[in-house]
Amino acid sequence: MKITVIQGPNLNMLGLREQNIYGPMKLEDIHTQMENYAKQSNVEVEFFQSNLEGEIIDKIQECLGESQGIIINPAAYTHTSIAIRDAIKAVQIPTIEVHISNIYAREEFRQKSLIAPVCAGQISGFGPFSYHLAMVSMVQILSEIKAMQEAQKQQEPKQ
C-alpha cells in the first residue's frame, strides 16, 4: 500500500512564510511526522512538492497503478485549478485535500475549493496537524477498501 503526498506552490517556504498563519514548522518536519505514522501503519509514503501546476498534474497521473491514496495540499491552485481537479477525477484514486489554515475563515477568494468536490474529504484549519489527520483518515479509507475487496473475493464462486 502506497500513499502519495503532493504539496503545491509555496509550501516549500513553510517555516519562513507568513508564520502568523502557517506557523513555524518546516515542510520536511511535517513529512517526518507523516512518515512515522505511515511506518506504524505499514504503508509506504512518497512526498512530492512543486510550484508548477503541470508538474502536479503529471504527479497525479503517475499515481495510476503506483499509489492507492493521494493526500494533496494544492495551496493557491485549490482556488483556481480546473486542471488539477480533472486529473484527480481521471485517476479515480481516493484523495484527501489538506489545508493548514482554515480557508473558510480567510479572504473570500480562498473560501472556494475547486478540488474538494472530487475528493473523499477535506481537512482544513488544524495547522500542520491537518496533515496527520489526513494520514489517519487515508489509512482508514485504505483499510476499508481492502476489507471490502477481501469480502468480495470470498463471495466469488470457486472454480
Among 33, 110, 120, 133, which residue sits at the site for ligand DQA (rule: CB under 6 A)? Answer: 110
Catalytic-labelled residue, pool 77, 99, 131, 132: 99
Residue 110 and residue 41 in contact, taking contact as beta carbons nearer than 8 Å: no
**Considering the complex, what minimum distance in angstroms separates the CB of residue 117 from ligand DQA?**
16
Sorted by sequence, the CB contacts under 8 Å of residue 81 that are 6+ apart come out as 53, 74, 114, 115
Among 37, 101, 126, 129, which residue sits at the site for ligand DQA (rule: CB under 6 A)? Answer: 101
Q: Is 75 in the site for ligand DQA (CB under 6 A)?
A: yes
Active site residue 31: no
Active site residue 22: yes
Q: Is 99 in the site for ligand DQA (CB under 6 A)?
A: yes
Is 131 exposed, middle or buried (CB count within 10 Å of its CB: 0-12, 13-18, 19+)?
buried
**Considering the complex, what minimum distance in angstroms separates the CB of residue 93 from ligand DQA?**
20
Q: Which residues bind ligand DQA (CB under 6 A)?
A: 10, 73, 75-76, 78, 99-101, 103, 110
Annotated active-site positions, please? 22, 99
